[in-house]
Copies of this chain bind each other. A is one copy, B any other.
Amino acid sequence: TRTHRIAVIAGDGIGQEVVPEGVRALEAAAEAYGFELRTTEFDYASADYYLKHGTMLPDGWFEQLSAYDAIFFGAVGWPEVVPDHVSLWGSLIQFRRHFDQYVNLRPVKLLEGMKSPLAGRSPGDVDFYVVRENTEGEYSSIGGKMFEGTDRETVIQETVMTRTGVDRVLTYAFELAQRRPRRHLTSATKSNGISITMPYWDERVEEMGRRYPEVDVDKFHIDILAANFVLHPDWFDVVVGSNLFGDILSDLGPACTGTIGIAPSANINPERRFPSLFEPVHGSAPDIAGRGIANPVGQIWSAALMLEHLGEREAAAGIQRAFEKVLAGSPREVLTPDLGGDGSTQSLGKAVADGI
């Protein structure tokens, strides 16, 4: 049988609660679809670990995690204890960068049973992907501060785009668009205001478009693009953006489909030289952590994306069907409070696992 070795990192807050439900779904899928799963849990990349060790990750994390086929990740961040830029830069962003997970893929889909905040939109109306560049761009580590503490204080941070970095994520996005029925790719830009990096981004999109003549390409400046997510979410098929623009759009898209609490994300190294990482879009949610009421579907959906990446397409589709069905029609006792129910993380997780 096929064996997949998975590093499991629950992290902070509700990460600790939803990850077990994600693992439950994975185990159900392994049994139903005939593959073997070897999971190992790690306690680092969490505020607890930081408090004990003064660092988010141990020496040797890179070699350790490199031995796995994928990383199944919960959430990191506990701002009362560790500032976000320390905890995030010290863990998640290191993973993305060192494992060269240069694609961040995030489905945006209006599902049955989910209440969209948009008027008059129904399931099926909205179904697209945000492809986000995940290693460079606005998330840079170059810059600094000068004339500190004076009126001349000046702070600079450099956005860095490389041809390699831009072209490879565009290639992924164009390939994805080409496989989809509508073959439509939208590029997020802001070349009218961000006058150096963004015109470059546009140039590369144009060049790449020539290599994929079957793909229908358009571009919008990020301001009006964000507006169009609200006004015309049905327009989109594959949307590609820089690290920052992709980040914004992949929260906004799920917000428009009412799925912000359940949206998944895949941090992918397409060449499989390094493990890819799968995590829900939501964070550690300190406000509801520890109460057993967090919705585990984002984690479970991420499990489906992970299995797809590992070549278990049927199992991935099985998980997807199972949670879509549970969301579309389950009694109150099963559903978590955010879905209008009075169930728990576990009741919802079990219902999905049973469905698989």
> Nearest Cβ in chain B — how far from A49, in angstroms?
18
- Give 1 or 0 for each of A132-157: 1 = CB within 8 Å of chain B CB: 00000011010111000011111111
In the bound complex, residues from chain B placing their C-beta under 8 Å from that of A252 are 223, 226-227, 230, 252
Query: Once the chains bind, are A194 and B227 in contact (CB under 8 Å)?
Result: no
Whether A151 contacts B139 in the complex (CB less than 8 A), given A117-B119, A197-B156, A226-B251, comes out as no
Chain B CB within 8 A of A93 CB? yes
Chain B CB within 8 A of A217 CB? no
Chain B CB within 8 A of A52 CB? no
Report the copy number of this chain in the oligomer: 2
Query: Once the chains bind, are A196 and B156 in contact (CB under 8 Å)?
Result: yes
Whether A226 contacts B255 in the complex (CB less than 8 A), given A162-B153, A163-B152, A244-B190, comes out as yes
Chain B CB within 8 A of A64 CB? no
In the bound complex, residues from chain B placing their C-beta under 8 Å from that of A255 are 226-228, 230-231
Chain B CB within 8 A of A161 CB? yes
Query: Once the chains bind, are B230 and A117 in contact (CB under 8 Å)?
Result: yes
Sorted from nearest, which 8 A-B pairs have the closest CB atoms? A227-B255, A153-B163, A84-B192, A223-B251, A157-B196, A119-B119, A143-B196, A157-B197
A-B contact pairs, 12 of them (CB 8 A): A83-B191, A83-B199, A85-B199, A116-B119, A139-B194, A152-B164, A157-B159, A157-B197, A194-B244, A222-B248, A223-B251, A227-B251
Interface residues of A (CB under 8 A from B): 77, 83-85, 88-89, 93, 116-120, 138-139, 141, 143-145, 150-164, 190-200, 222-224, 226-228, 230-231, 243-244, 247-248, 250-252, 254-256, 260
